[in-house]
Amino acid sequence: MFQVTKEERQKYKELTKVLPKILKDKIKKYKFKKKDFMIWYKKKELFFDLLIDVKVKSDDKCYCTAVETIKPLWLDDLLWDLLKMETNKETPLSLRTIGAFTVSGAELFKNETELKEWTISELEEIIDNYLEHFYKTVQSSSICDFYNNLENSIYHVELRKALSFIYDHKYQDALDYLLDKGDGVFKNGDISINSAMREYCKNQLSH
C-alpha cells in the first residue's frame, strides 16, 4: 500500500475510521450539515461545502486535507432544467453536495496539514481549525466570491462558466465559449448538457 511501517499503517487505519465520527460531533456547534463524506451549509441562495479527508501521500507522510467550495443554488437548478431533471429541485438539499448530476462549486480554499505523529489528537486539532475556517468563509462570502473564483479548479470549470453566462443572459458568450467543448460531462438519456445549453442559447437569441 505505502512505504510506511506497520505501526503507521495501523494508525492510518484508525484515523480513517474515527474521521466520520469526529466530523459528526464537531459540526454540531456550527449547525453545519453532513451527508456521507461531505459537510455543507446553505446561506440564503448560496450553497457551501467542505471536504475533509485523511491520506498518506507519495512522500509517505500522513495529511489531513480540506477543500471548500461555493455555488449559487441556481447553478444546479439550471443544470437540471436543461437536462430535463427538474424534479431534482424538490429533493433534499444534500443532493447538491453528493449527487451525481450536480455542478462542483468554485474552490475557495484548499489546504493540507501534516499529522507528524499520526494521532487522533492531532487530527482533532486540525479539524477544529478547518471547521473554524469554513465557518468564517460562510459568514464572509457572497456571490462575488463564486464569480471571482470560478476558474480556481479545473473540475467542472466548463459547466460553471457556461451556466453562468446563461444565467446572466449572455447567450452569445455562452455559445462562443462552448464552440469547441464537445458534448460535456453530463448526459441524461439522449440529452447532453453542452448540446442542451447551445440549443437553449440559440432559442433565446432568436426571440
- What are the residue ranges spanned by the domains of the chain? 6-148, 157-206
Span 72-128, pLDDT tens digits: 999 999 999 999 999 999 999 999 999 999 999 999 999 999 999 999 999 999 999
Mean pLDDT computed over 12-40:
95
126 to each of 53, 73, 112, 122, how far by Cα in Å? Answer: 11, 29, 9, 6
Mean pLDDT computed over 126-150:
98
45: three-class secondary structure by DSSP: coil
- The torsion region of residue 17 among left (phi > 0), alpha (psi -120 to 50) and beta comes to alpha
153 neighbors 106 (Cβ within 8 angstroms): yes
- 36: which 3 cell numbers? 456521507
Span 148-193, pLDDT tens digits: 999 999 999 999 999 999 999 999 999 999 999 999 999 999 999 9
Span 186-195, pLDDT tens digits: 999 999 999 9
- 103: which 3 cell numbers? 455542478
pLDDT-based confidence at residue 37 (cuts at 50, 70, 90): confident
The 10 Å CB-count burial string (b at 16+, else e) for 52-66 is bebebeeeebbbbbb
Positive or negative, the Cα torsion across 53, 105, 85, 180? negative
175: three-class secondary structure by DSSP: helix
pTM: 0.94
Whether residue 23 is predicted with pLDDT greater than 90 in this model: the reply is yes
pLDDT at 2 (0 to 100): 56
Note the residue count of the chain: 207
**Residue 67: closest CA among 164, 143, 8, 155:** 155
